[in-house]
Amino acid sequence: MCTVSMVPVKAGYVFTFNRDEQPLRQTPHYKVHEDLGYKNIYFAMDSKAGGTWFGADNRGNIAMLFNGAFDKHQKQGAYTKSRGIVLLELLKAAAMLEDFQHKELSSTEPFSVILFEHKKLYRLSWDGITKHIQLLDSNTPHIFSSATLYEKEIQQQRKAWLNNFLNRQPQVTDETVYLFHASHNITDRENGLCIAREGSCSTLSISQAVWQEDHIRLRHKDLVTGQLYQQAIFL
């Protein structure tokens, strides 16, 4: 999995996530809240592994996980720590970027995290050997696709799709970005934004966090059940 975008809008930022997984994977818990004392975290919990792929806290920070670093990797034996558990640990940390810098990851398969912390945007990647930290321009739209599912040519094509889509919009909003994730190139079931690869992965849900100065609005749309889950986080 998956496809992740960050789009700056007039009132803040929109983070959207298409989760590509095996269709038979257990239905996740979309609204999980933990009060850690020093902050509250809100996330979608994977029912199988207990980790998460998408979460936020009441300090205004957002984190999203996708599989792979920069290139498609070869699995190296058994990995003993789930990537989703790593993201949940980051969400629980008092300082997520610092926690990633010190985290032991040798038993974890390669992954990337798009992190919005203290109003700065980062891509954190673990390629199986080395950690990479990239500070990204938060004033520019970004879209990222899992290297385990999408070839580099497709990843570049998706960047062009997003830029072309946004350039045609008279006003970019969280709704227009959501519609892009839900419907763009919908007939391409292999590499469109919502996929349905036969005998393989399908897009099971779309999650979105709309960041503004005083609150974050979360929503998760389960594409299998049709259910919509929403949550407001006041900062």
As to burial, measured by CB atoms within 10 angstroms (0-12 exposed, 13-18 middle, 19+ buried), residue 170 is exposed
Reported in sequence order, the residue ranges of the chain that DSSP labels E, i.e. its strands, are 3-9, 12-21, 29-35, 40-45, 52-57, 62-67, 111-117, 120-126, 131-136, 142-145, 202-211, 215-222, 228-234
Average pLDDT in the 103-122 region? 97
Average pLDDT in the 59-80 region? 91
User: Half-sphere exposure of residue 195, counting CA atoms within 13 Å on the CB side?
Assistant: 23
User: What pLDDT does 106 receive?
Assistant: 94
DSSP 213: S
Average pLDDT in the 99-109 region? 97
pLDDT in tens, 116-158: 999 999 999 999 999 999 999 999 999 999 999 999 999 999 9
CATH code: domain of residue 84: 3.60.60.10
User: What pLDDT does 215 receive?
Assistant: 98
Both tokens of 4, joined, read: 């992740």
Contact predicate 59/39, CB 8 Å: yes
Mind giving me the DSSP string for 134-183? EEE-TTS-EEEE-TTTS-HHHHHHHHHHHHHHHHT-SS--HHHHHHHHHH
The domain of 93 spans 3-234
User: What pLDDT does 208 receive?
Assistant: 98
For residue 196, list its beta bridge partners: 202
Q: Is a pLDDT exceeding 80 seen at residue 77?
A: no
| Residue entry with tokens 């803040």 | 12
- What average pLDDT is seen over the chain? 95
Q: Is a pLDDT exceeding 80 seen at residue 1?
A: no
User: What pLDDT does 174 receive?
Assistant: 97
**Cα end-to-end span (Å), the chain:** 30
Average pLDDT in the 179-201 region? 93
**Number of folded domains in the chain?**
1
pLDDT in tens, 6-59: 999 999 999 999 999 988 877 899 999 999 999 999 999 998 889 999 999 999
